[in-house]
Amino acid sequence: MLEFLQSGLYTSIQDLGRFGYRNYGVPIAGVMDEYHAKLANHILGNDENDAVLEITLQGPYLYFYEPTQIVLCGANLSPKLNKEAVKLNTILHVRKGDQLEFGARIYGVRTYLGVKKGFQIEKVLNSCSFYDGITKKSRVENGDFIKYETVSHQISSNATIAPSKEIFQNHQLNVYKGPEFDLLSQKQQEQLLNTNFSIGLNNRMAYQLNELLENNFPSIITSAVLPGTIQLTPSGKLLVLLKDCQTTGGYPRILQLDEISITILSQKHTKDRVQFNMISTS
């Protein structure tokens, strides 16, 4: 059993998402950064879809009631096990009564905590991913408990992976043309692909970019959107939809991120800058 002595800023249980229910208006949800969530499970020898903790900016304070193995991947939020600093991307052996806490943010936004055999939580619509209105809550709270299986420290696993900061250092987002891209003028297209955008308000639903793009589009019929869809709002701001986004929207869909670029963006903070790189579908 794991107890949240403090929940952190925004900590939730996530897996790879909830698929097959978009026709009912149910978002995909799931981890924002698939690369590091999968990496944590890989190091532990888990299934890649096993439930993990997604920890955002300010980490929780955790108490372990039983021994297990854990791995932390993604952002460096200065983790400490029993007051001792620990490394990312390597197996940590946890004993009964151990405590895990986090400190200052060194780089990145989201850390993933994987546990051997995954967190044991009820699935809703074939997924453990928290989403308000689908699951009982959208984030963990102080005093919450989550189950995990007790394991010995001798279980074999992929012991460690050399850390890489490439995802955190990359500011280029690969994009495909969205359905309404060709309605943009040549000038608008050039502005879109040559602007160094800064990140504004952001959460699991969407990242807003601060710089404006001229918008003279007429209204469009509400159409399907996906994580990674980039919409142009009437005010000229761009919205990059992410894992908790709605299933349909009425703003022009001018670009679409590829999967690795969703990961890159999910590790960016307010005021960080990004630029779009158009890639061919052929």
pLDDT digits (tens, 9 = 90+) for 86-134: 999 999 999 999 999 999 999 999 999 999 999 999 999 999 999 999 9
Q: How far apart are CA 176 and CA 164, in angstroms?
A: 26
Q: Are residues 196 and 120 in the same domain?
A: no
Q: Using DSSP bridges, classify how beta strands 273-278 and 172-177 pair: parallel, antiparallel or unpaired.
A: parallel
Nearest to 158 by CA among 107, 101, 114, 96: 114
* Single residue among 126, 141, 164 that ends a domain in this structure: 164
116 and 185 fall within a common domain: no
Which token pair is 86?
């620990």
110 and 220 assigned to the same domain: no
262 CB contacts (<8 Å, ≥6 apart)?
Answer: 32, 34, 227, 228, 242, 243
- pLDDT of residue 158 exceeding 70: no
Last residue of a domain, one of 164, 189, 223: 164
For residue 232, what are the CA distances in angstroms to 139, 212, 213, 220, 246? Answer: 29, 9, 8, 11, 15
The whole domain housing 74 covers 2-164
At 173 the three-state DSSP class reads strand
Question: Do 148 and 10 sit in the same domain of this protein?
Answer: yes
- The span from the CA of 188 to the CA of 184, in Å, is 6
**Whether the Cβ atoms of residue 108 and residue 74 lie closer than 8 Å to each other:** yes
137 plus 220 within the same structural domain: no
Q: How many domains does the chain contain in total?
A: 2
Cα distance between residue 132 and residue 135, in whole Å: 6
Residue where a domain terminates, one of 131, 146, 164: 164
CATH number where 196 lies: 2.40.100.10
Q: Residue 177 above 80 pLDDT? A: yes
219 close to 244: Cβ distance less than 8 angstroms: no
What pLDDT band is residue 160 in, cutting at 50, 70 and 90?
A: low
- 3-state SS class at 26: coil
pLDDT in tens, 30-78: 999 999 999 999 999 999 999 999 999 999 999 999 999 999 999 999 9
281: left (phi over 0), alpha (psi -120 to 50) or beta: alpha
